[in-house]
Amino acid sequence: MTGKAAIGELEFLRKLQRLLAEGDFVVTYKFALLNALADFALEREPESDGSLRVPLFAIAEKFIEYYWLQARPYRAQNGNGVVLFQNTGKQAAVINAIVAAQIANPTLLGARAAKLRWHTLVTKVAGTVAGMPLWKLQTVAGDRDEFLYREKEATEDTIRLLPGVPAAFRSLYGLVLDAVRGAWMRQIASIGANEPVLGNADLATFLFGSGRASLDGFRDVLRDHQAGKCLYCQKKLQGAGGVDRFIAWSRYPVDLGHNLVLAHTSCNGQKRDFLAYPRHLERWHRTHVERADELAQRFDSETLPHDGERSRAIVWWAYEQGEAAGAHAWIDADRFVRLDRSWRDVLGARALPLVAEPSRSKY
Ligand SMILES: [Zn+2]
């Protein structure tokens, strides 16, 4: 531990709120940066002192992930539609770089697979991150308050989230994400050049996805993998069955294969956005973690996005937060139970590596 106490959640929230309310944002990068830091806090294990080193390259990859959706033409019909401005002046450099990348590879999965071109793109974006938002984020109204990370602790290619910051992001994730994305959207809506094309209602869906995306592509893979049984009630699926997000979209809005399970539409509908109680978690663990590599190969053969390690980290985080908040976990029908610590016996330690190659990330 350093001599200074780790930041508490309330202080963190106050500072973040001030940053969002008073920060000088002409380009939207600072929102993407905050979103990336929050995601890393969920996905990676902090040091024993509560700090967390984050590589610039990894931040750049997150930027590309977020802006990939946003760099598409808005309201494109018959090939029309325009790319929304992310900057009050000329278009943001990251958007231009991604638009160019999308010409070569329209999907993020395809772009990642083109290794050399991907590396060039990530390097370019990392340069923008280091040059622009990284050292401006924490300056509010001319007043520099380094509560997330410090310039003097940065190396050429990493920053260090200060003790307490990863924990605060973890416990306040939903709130932080709403605040950051709300501010991001308002920023885009306030850019004059966007006015002619912006309606209102569907902007959030366009920018961040809706959770209504079709998951049908996963169905056959999951049916094979789960031997045709509903993950929750273990009974045979008669009809098509529904693809269910084990951790609901409202808790973590990214669709990756290992978080998806096949279930009866009725079981799915009863579970809603609740956590599944530990017996269900045990089943998910048996099929999706213990057999993660097998499942990954099945997803690969259908070119479906997955990242087993990330999904496991998200499940761990969701149960940890659920336990702390006294959440109710779904059993069956309309039966629920308060989540106790027994889920830890199922999932084990947070940092346990899931797959042989921990750095491999498929998108
Ligand atoms: Zn069922």
> Cα(105) to centroid of ligand 1, in Å?
39
> Cα(233) to centroid of ligand 1, in Å?
4
The region of weakest confidence among 45-54, 231-240, 345-354 is 345-354
> Cα(219) to centroid of ligand 1, in Å?
15
**Beta strand pairing status for 275-276 and 328-332?**
parallel
> Cα(299) to centroid of ligand 1, in Å?
23
> Cα(333) to centroid of ligand 1, in Å?
10
Task: Judge whether 38 and 12 are in contact, CB under 8 Å.
Answer: no
Checking if the pLDDT of 125 tops 70, the result is: yes
Confidence label for 355 from pLDDT (cuts 50, 70 and 90): very low
pLDDT value at residue 44: 94
> Cα(245) to centroid of ligand 1, in Å?
14
DSSP string, 92-107: PHHHHHHHHHHHH-SS
Confidence label for 352 from pLDDT (cuts 50, 70 and 90): low
For residues 108-117, give the mean pLDDT.
95
> Cα(224) to centroid of ligand 1, in Å?
16
Checking if the pLDDT of 356 tops 70, the result is: no
**C-alpha distances in angstroms, 155 versus 14, 82, 109, 159, 324?**
28, 38, 30, 6, 35
> Cα(253) to centroid of ligand 1, in Å?
24
> Cα(263) to centroid of ligand 1, in Å?
5
pLDDT value at residue 189: 80
> Cα(31) to centroid of ligand 1, in Å?
40
The region of weakest confidence among 74-78, 91-95, 309-313 is 74-78
Task: Judge whether 66 and 363 are in contact, CB under 8 Å.
Answer: no
CA dist 74 and 237 (Å) reads 39
pLDDT value at residue 288: 98
Share of the chain above pLDDT 90, in %: 68
For residues 62-70, give the mean pLDDT.
96
DSSP string, 178-228: HHHHHHHHHHHHH-GGGTTT--STTHHHHHH--S-S--HHHHHHHHHHTTT
Share of the chain above pLDDT 70, in %: 91
> Cα(348) to centroid of ligand 1, in Å?
26
For residues 235-247, give the mean pLDDT.
93
Q: Of the candidates 9, 18, 31, which has an alpha carbon nearest to the alpha carbon of residue 190?
A: 31
pLDDT value at residue 347: 93
> Cα(264) to centroid of ligand 1, in Å?
4
Tell me the range of 126-130, 189-193, 317-321, 349-353 where mean pLDDT is highest. Answer: 126-130
- The gap between the terminal CA atoms of the chain, to the nearest Å, is 36
Confidence label for 199 from pLDDT (cuts 50, 70 and 90): low
**C-alpha distances in angstroms, 91 versus 82, 125, 164?**
12, 14, 35
> Cα(272) to centroid of ligand 1, in Å?
13
For residues 29-53, give the mean pLDDT.
96
Confidence label for 359 from pLDDT (cuts 50, 70 and 90): very low
pLDDT value at residue 26: 79
Checking if the pLDDT of 206 tops 80, the result is: no
Checking if the pLDDT of 279 tops 70, the result is: yes
> Cα(285) to centroid of ligand 1, in Å?
17
CA dist 188 and 183 (Å) reads 9
> Cα(222) to centroid of ligand 1, in Å?
14
The region of weakest confidence among 164-173, 274-283, 303-312, 351-360 is 351-360
Confidence label for 78 from pLDDT (cuts 50, 70 and 90): low
> Cα(214) to centroid of ligand 1, in Å?
20
pLDDT value at residue 318: 93
> Cα(71) to centroid of ligand 1, in Å?
39
> Cα(266) to centroid of ligand 1, in Å?
7
pLDDT value at residue 17: 82
**Measured CA angle at 164 (ends 350, 183), to 5 deg:** 100
**List of residues 6+ apart from 120 with CB closer than 8 A:** none
> Cα(287) to centroid of ligand 1, in Å?
16
Task: Judge whether 105 and 99 are in contact, CB under 8 Å.
Answer: no
For residues 310-326, give the mean pLDDT.
90
For residues 168-191, give the mean pLDDT.
91
> Cα(231) to centroid of ligand 1, in Å?
7
